[in-house]
């Protein structure tokens, strides 16, 4: 479980610490907010914090005086990190505290404690002298013992070291001992950096290469693979570029990757998704024909069907056939040239099923008039629409699920899903 706490000084100057609860937590001066602060610089609803799995995302509610995060204007929804500083309208500063009971978080805490212990141990003469003083003050051991002890230790080490050199020699056994120490306890400066792999989704699944020598035990135990966020970054970019008619540079921002990652975690190792992906592969030609008949990319249509099915076993082809007429009409209203256009069609799918094909387009036009300083391309995104409260939580969640599954389709085995990549010609 992961908790988010907010630390700030209230209107009386007293320190407060508040737990963020629920999927949506609103802060502002209105008394009905989850956290109400009677400060004239705050808007009635100033910011909101939404919880997606274990990711906390903050966004400004269109406040009059704005919000900054770590000194930068908060324009898009951003995933919060421990220690972030929010400033609401110049009238309230909030510091975040994220507490997690996950094993990796506990391990990190233990590592931090070890580092602190090392620092204390190597703190120099001050720490050592205080220890000796405490001991001498509470013991009847003569002071001369503390003077003689270091000398005896040095003599012992010199004798022991000579014995090791005499009996062990300086040959292969000694070298092996040094190598063992180096491999199990590498210092930060000695640990080699991992080399990032190609951004191609296909190559990211390949480990190793045309090596001319046998790998060492260390290399076998820890293969050179990109970290989880790098996999999502590469595969999501490839997916976005392949669902759009013309958007070769589409990619997700870091805060967006965090949100998608919270959804990907729900599908890792899913046998149902693996079977559904195999069904898409076996019916690739039918998906191709269906999508092209309505001016869509087959990967878009197939992933939309997979997102509709979710983490259940289903028939992707039949699902795609049911969804196709809705997307055909939404495409006329919203277009699908860019990756963001396709994401908006996904978010608007339920509106389309209800026959409201132009509602989202009208919302976009109104937002463009209201925000002349914001670029039209930024407005035409699910991220901006969610920030402005123009799409529902369910619509945004469906778009995130679509993005998560789409990312997995590009290299399923990167996410422990036993299926081949879904890539159409």
Domain spans, the chain: 2-100, 229-415
The Cβ of residue 339 has, within 10 Å, a number of other Cβ atoms equal to: 28
Does 23 or 326 have the greater pLDDT score? 326
Which pLDDT belongs to residue 293?
94
DSSP 210: S
Residue 91 pLDDT class (50, 70, 90 cuts):
confident
pLDDT > 70? residue 137: no
Give me the percent of the chain exceeding a pLDDT of 70: 71
Q: Which residues contact 371 (CB under 8 A, 6 or more apart)?
A: 379
Report the Cα–Cα distance between both ends of the chain, in Å, rounded.
43
**Fold of domain 2-100:** Tumour Suppressor Smad4 (2.60.200)
pTM of the model: 0.56
Q: Degrees (nearest 5) of the Cα angle 390, 391, 393? A: 130
Phi/psi at 279 (5° precision): -65, -40
Task: Give the sign of the dihedral formed by CA 316, CA 243, CA 385, CA 23.
Answer: positive
131 CB contacts (<8 Å, ≥6 apart)? none
Task: Kindly indicate the confidence band of residue 102, based on its pLDDT and cuts at 50, 70 and 90.
Answer: low
pLDDT, residue 197, reads 36
Q: Which two tokens stand for residue 150?
A: 């270091």
């Amino acid at each position: 479980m992961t908790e988010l706490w907010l630390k700030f000084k209230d209107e009386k100057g007293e320190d407060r610490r508040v737990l963020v609860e629920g999927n949506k937590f609103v802060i502002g001066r209105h008394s009905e907010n989850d956290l109400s602060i009677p400060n004239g610089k705050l808007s009635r609803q100033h910011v909101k914090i939404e919880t997606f799995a274990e990711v906390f995302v903050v966004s400004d509610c269109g406040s009059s005086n704005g919000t900054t995060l770590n000194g930068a204007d908060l324009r898009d929804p951003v995933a919060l990190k421990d220690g972030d500083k929010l400033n609401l309208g110049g009238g309230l500063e909030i510091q975040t505290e994220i507490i997690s009971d996950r094993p990796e978080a506990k391990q990190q805490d233990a590592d931090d404690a070890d580092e602190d212990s090392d620092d204390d141990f190597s703190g120099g003469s001050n720490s050592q002298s205080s220890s000796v003083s405490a001991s001498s003050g509470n013991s009847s051991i003569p002071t001369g013992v503390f003077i003689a002890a270091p000398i005896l230790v040095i003599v012992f080490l010199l004798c022991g070291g000579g014995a090791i050199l005499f009996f062990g020699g300086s040959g292969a056994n000694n070298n092996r001992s040094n190598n063992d120490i180096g491999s199990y306890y590498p210092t930060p400066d000695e640990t080699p950096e991992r080399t990032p792999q190609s951004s191609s989704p296909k190559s990211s699944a390949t480990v190793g290469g045309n090596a001319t020598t046998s790998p060492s035990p260390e290399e076998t135990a820890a293969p050179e693979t990109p970290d989880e966020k790098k996999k999502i970054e590469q595969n999501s970019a490839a997916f976005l570029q392949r669902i759009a008619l013309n958007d070769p540079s589409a990619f997700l921002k870091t805060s967006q990757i965090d949100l998608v990652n919270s959804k990907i975690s729900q599908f890792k190792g899913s046998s149902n998704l693996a079977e559904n992906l195999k069904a898409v592969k076996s019916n690739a030609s039918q998906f191709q024909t269906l999508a092209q008949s309505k001016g869509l990319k087959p990967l878009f249509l197939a992933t939309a069907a997979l997102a509709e099915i979710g983490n259940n076993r289903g028939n992707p082809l039949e699902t795609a056939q049911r969804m196709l007429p809705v997307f055909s009409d939404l495409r006329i209203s919203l277009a699908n040239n860019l990756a963001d256009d396709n994401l908006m069609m996904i978010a608007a799918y339920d509106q389309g099923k209800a026959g409201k094909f132009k509602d989202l387009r009208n919302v976009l036009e109104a937002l463009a008039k209201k925000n002349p300083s914001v670029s039209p391309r930024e407005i035409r995104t699910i991220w901006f629409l969610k920030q402005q409260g123009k799409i529902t939580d369910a619509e945004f969640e469906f778009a995130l699920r679509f993005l998560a599954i789409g990312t997995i389709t590009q290299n399923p085995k990167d996410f422990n899903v036993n299926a081949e990549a879904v890539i159409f010609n």
